[in-house]
Amino acid sequence: MKDIIILAIETSCDETSVAIIKNGREILSNVIYTQIDIHKKFGGVVPEIASRKHIEKIDLIFAQSLEESGLNFKDLDAIAVTYGPGLVGALLVGMSYAKALAFGLGIPLIPVNHIDGHIAANYLAFPDLEPPYIALIVSGGHTHIIDVLGYGEYKVLGRTRDDAVGEAFDKVARTLGFPYPGGPYIDKAAKDGNKEAIKFPRTYLEKGSFDFSFSGIKSSVLNYLNSMKMKGIEVNANDVAASFQEAVVDVLIEKIISASLKMNHKEIIIAGGVAANSNLRKRLKEEAKIHHLDVFYPPLSLCTDNAAMIGAAAYYQFKKGIFANLDLNSVPNLKL
Ligand code: KG4
Ligand code: ZN
């Protein structure tokens, strides 16, 4: 069978990335330019700046990706692009570039949902992984438990009712004085902290619900820090980080394990930026083992935003003939 080579573009937030993927499973190149250092100064992503940086960088990142793959234009079978969810101006940069390429080369344009991409990151890391399985998506904008029935076929079992888990990590980190994005700093600080030091609440919601709520724990950490400040007591940031992280991970693990047992799936995958969290990775593996479940998570480099995962998801759309016309628009709040 002929190999299918897809060039994928991701510009939904603050990473400009272009990748070339063979048969949905093999990375020929995956070039990522991150704007984190620029947005750090503002404590979060500034949409206007993100769009401008994408437009400055995309041509360079594209050229580098093609060169690293060792391929030519004529080797490409399709162009894939993230069309949502994400920042509208940022998405439009990648989409315009992708449309021009697809039109110029006379090959199909594949519209990819960013969340679908995060799930598909696991197909790059685990060549034998196939649906069905349960997926936990934990990123800066999303917290979902999904029953993955087939490639690109999803049933959402639960989602956050307020903050995304990454958002909670970032807000708590910011209050502790860590730079943006704060998740990795909390992860690191927690390693030197005592997870039993402070009892933060765990919100499980109604019995049997797979939904999440992280606004309670976020407020509870902020209240704790304020009250310590008022009393003039110095806080140990490592202890706060460890206690907060432990509470969040407790809830994530309890829900994802019970969802897999309920749906009778033997495999769990985790994806999205927070899937890089070392405590979540370690504890989920341990807990899953007790229930005879297997856990898969992508390597750190494929957890945060990248175009390789978009190319992996796009391959399964290519096989089903799910293409877009050149009037494709961005959908900033696109659902799965
Ligand atoms: O998937 P992603 O790169 O972007 C979105 O689509 O949102 O996720 C970014 C999020 C940020 O909130 C960041 O703080 C969090 O992932 N993150 C982490 C870790 N690494 C990244 N959170 C906890 N622990 C980490 N090690
Ligand atoms: Zn993402």
Number of the ligand 1 atom closest to the C-alpha atom of 182: 14
Answer yes or no: is the C-beta of 163 below 6 A from any ligand 1 atom.
no
Over range 62-77, report the average pLDDT.
Answer: 98
Q: How far apart are CA 162 and CA 156, in angstroms?
A: 16
Is the model's pLDDT at 1 over the cut of 90?
no
Residue-wise pLDDT for 24-54, tens only, equals: 999 999 999 999 999 989 988 999 999 999 9
User: Which ligand number lies closest to the CA of residue 310?
Assistant: 2
> pLDDT by residue (tens digit) across 213-222?
999 999 999 9
106-131: pLDDT as tens digits:
999 999 999 999 999 999 999 999 99
- Is the Cβ–Cβ distance between 15 and 35 less than 8 Å? yes
Count of beta carbons in the 10 Å neighbourhood of residue 164? 23
Is the pLDDT at 82 greater than 90, yes or no?
A: yes
- Cα Rg of the chain (Å, integer): 20
Residue 140 alpha carbon to ligand 2 centre in Å: 7
Q: What's the chain's average pLDDT?
A: 96
- Ligand 1: which of 10, 137, 245, 274 to mutate, judged by most atoms within 8 Å of the beta carbon? 274
Structure confidence at residue 314 (pLDDT): 98
Choose the residue to mutate in 139, 191, 284 for probing ligand 1, maximizing ligand atoms within 8 Å of C-beta: 139
Q: Quick one: which ligand is closest to 140's CA?
A: 1
Report field, pTM of the whole predicted structure over 0.85? yes
Q: Is the pLDDT of residue 336 over 90?
A: no
CA of 85 to the centre of ligand 2 (A): 9
Does the Cβ of 276 fall within 6 Å of ligand 1?
yes
Residue 312 class from Cβ within 10 Å (0-12 exposed, 13-18 middle, 19+ buried)? buried
Residue nearest to atom 21 of ligand 1 (CA): 273
Tell me how far apart the alpha carbons of residues 4 and 78 are, in angstroms, rounded to a whole number: 8
CB atoms within 10 A of CB 40: 12
> Does residue 89 have its Cβ closer than 6 Å to ligand 1?
no
Q: State the Cα–Cα distance between residues 297 and 60, nearest whole angstrom.
A: 30
Question: What totals of helices (H) and strands (E) does the chain contain, helices first?
Answer: 11, 10
* Cis amide linkage into residue 181, ω under 30° from 0: yes
Q: Note the pLDDT of residue 263.
A: 96
Distances (CA, A) of 258 to 7, 149, 187, 270, 329: 38, 17, 25, 15, 38
Best mutation site among 136, 185, 217, 304 for ligand 1 pocket (most ligand atoms within 8 Å of CB)? 304
CA of 223 to the centre of ligand 2 (A): 29
Gap from CA of 232 to ligand 1 centroid (Å): 32
* Residues by chain with Cβ below 5 Å of ion ligand 2: 139, 305
Q: Which whole number is the average pLDDT over 199-203?
A: 96
pLDDT of 131-164, one tens digit each?
999 999 999 988 999 999 999 999 999 999 999 9
At 290 the pLDDT is: 97
Distance between Cα 45 and ligand 2 center (Å): 13
**How many angstroms is it from 159 CA to the middle of ligand 1?**
17
Ordered by where they begin, the domains of the chain are 5-119+303-320 (3.30.420.40), 131-299 (3.30.420.40)
Identify the three-state secondary structure at position 92: helix
Q: Is the pLDDT of residue 16 over 90?
A: yes
Q: What is the pLDDT of residue 30?
A: 98
Atom 24 of ligand 1, nearest CA residue: 277
pLDDT band, very low/low/confident/very high, at 19 (cuts 50, 70, 90) = very high
pLDDT tens digit string along 89-111? 999 999 999 999 999 999 999 99
Q: From ligand 1's centre to the CA of 251, what distance in Å?
A: 17
Q: Which pLDDT value is given to residue 43? A: 87
**Nearest-angstrom CA–CA distance, 220 and 226:** 10
